[in-house]
Chains A and B, each alone.
Chain A
Amino acid sequence: MLGVALRILRRRPLAEEAVHDAFVQIWERAASFDPQRGAARSWIYAIVRHRALNILRGEVRTDLTADFDDLALASPDESPETVVAMLSEAGALRRCLDRLEPDKRRLIVLAYIHGLSHGELAARLAIPLGTIKSWIRRTLISLRECLA
């Protein structure tokens, strides 16, 4: 949980904040959780990510971008390509991400694991904002077809 939050928030106190809040939410909603409807794991991760993204959005983003480059340098293991390589080769997500063009794969993985916005993705990949938006929508559609 903490690792997932830290990827998005990049600072430990904020990530612990997100995990703490998620804990409370999970506790409050425990009775409404129905194991028949979906895996508990993705339910829990979704609550953590959701809370982390809300904290990220509430923060002054410039405050975070300064740290971000340092972090990118400090942990070269966390490039989108190495994250994809960590996925099980037998899994559908790995197979379908591997089929995408490299830039499109990077967009999806960066958005998911670091919570990057359209603007940040555009800056990082040096691709116009409008292109990013339409690429993401088209990539999601082809991912959906592949994962169906």
Chain B
Amino acid sequence: MSPHPVGEGDLDVTAAEFVLGLLPQADHAAAERLLQEDRAFAQAVAGWRARFTELDDTAPVLPPGSGLWSRIARNPSLAAQAVGDRRAARPQPSALSIKPAWRGRSLRAMAMAAALLLAAALGYFAQDRASKPVLIAVLLAEGSAQPAAVVSAYRDGRIELAPLQPIEVPPDRALQVWTLWDRAVGPKSVGLLDQARSTRLTTEGIPATGPKQLFEITLEPRNGSPTGRPTGPILMKGLAETAL
């Protein structure tokens, strides 16, 4: 960053100019490298980002087009991540038992990131409080870290399901959505779908959604589980977390 004398104060102002996007091309590239290598510079950048982020909240809230969602869902690097996880797990099944904590943490980190992303992308950070979900559950496809659907519980009690990828449903089968808030009560059905689509879930006889409440989707006979309990394979599941 030759044009700017490098001293304590100057480095901080350079960090601010970097955050504003004002550095000339060469300095910008140098700043990107410094961001990776220099802890003090990285902290200065994080500080300025935090100071200015309130301005981001004033941006108009725009729903993403459906094309954007399907592109994100189909993105090869997102899919590769999930495949990579499976590949790593398959040849050495013992790895799972050796490092369960690591695996759990990485899945949790991804699920959290996915939840934050969805919240951000859908504009939940806007000041419109009425449309802000209180809790979000990201349902991960069984056997992978791929987010497959998101359940949002709103302040007014409404619960909505939004699938993120298509699910193959055989003609005589249906997708049944379950929630579990108390092991003593057991899972309750909150929806039956012939295919993956966005829908409002039933809230009748269900208490207000709480943190760590489980949501899952199983494959059941077309008219729903005959026993009132999940009988088919679990396709995806996730726990509700407090939205930011």
Contacts and interface: CB of A to CB of B under 8 A. Distances in A.
Interface string B62-92: 1111011001100101100100000000000
Contact of B56 (A33, A37, A45): A45
Chain A, interface size: which category? 35 or more
A117 interface: yes
B55 A23 contact: no
B62 A111 contact: no
Nearest to A33: B113
Contact of A41 (B52, B53, B112): B53
Interface residues of B, number: 49
Nearest to B107: A31
A23 B72 contact: yes
B58 A86 contact: yes
Main secondary structure of the interface of A (DSSP, over half): helix
Interface of B: 9, 12-13, 16-17, 19-22, 25, 28, 46, 49-56, 58-65, 67-68, 71-72, 75, 77-78, 81, 106, 109-110, 112-114, 116-117, 120-121, 123, 125, 244
Given A42-B50, A48-B120, 12 more contacts: A2-B68, A3-B60, A4-B59, A16-B64, A23-B72, A27-B78, A38-B50, A43-B49, A44-B116, A108-B20, A112-B20, A113-B55
